[in-house]
Amino acid sequence: MRKITTPLTREITRSLHCGETIHLTGEIYTARDAAHKRLIESVNQGKPLPFQIENAIVYYVGPTPSRPGRAIGSAGPTTSGRMDVYTPALLNLGLKGMIGKGARSPEVIAAMVEHGAVYFGAIGGAGALLARTVKSSEIITYEDLGAEAIRKLTVEEMPLTIIIDSKGNDLYKLGRLKYLDLKEEQ
């Protein structure tokens, strides 16, 4: 298991491979559909983004309220495809990593290859386990969005799998092909 620390530079993303499992430590940001829409509106209006997006990682999550003594409540990934319409523009601004679940569009994968970004998969249904890796959580903007506000999280050894690497290799496609090959051999 490889350990990665943010910021996620192009040098790091180029060294990550589809199917590889890592432990991520450092600062990441949360954002879902409504926050992405606002981010793109800011970009289109020439306004600065509320966080440094270059070499950043965005986690597609809307965490539940935290219990006493915890930095965050359950924090499982949401379906990434809902952010696909916004993602190429953010990759163009320097976003280097995304954490979520589910397949990505061909347009997102092409933008990832162009900009040297990666897509990490987190286990859906394991929100309580993932929340234990979050050491601090701070809302930085869009508080009116509730669970969908953008937060800065500090994570320690968050377990993730490289679903799509910076070369465009896609575990969803490669895993299916490998399964079909093994099935054929039987």
- Cα separation values, 111 from 68, 90, 97, 105, 172, Å: 41, 10, 12, 10, 18
Supply 19's token pair: 């199917």
For the question of residue 17 being annotated catalytic, the response is: no
Is 169 in contact with 161 (CB distance < 8 Å)?
A: no
DSSP 11-51: HHHHH--TT-EEEEEEEEEE--HHHHHHHHHHHHTTPPPSS
Choose, from 17, 23, 36, 115, the residue flagged as catalytic. Answer: 36
Contacting residues for 144 by C-beta, under 8 A, at least 6 apart: none
Catalytic residues: 36
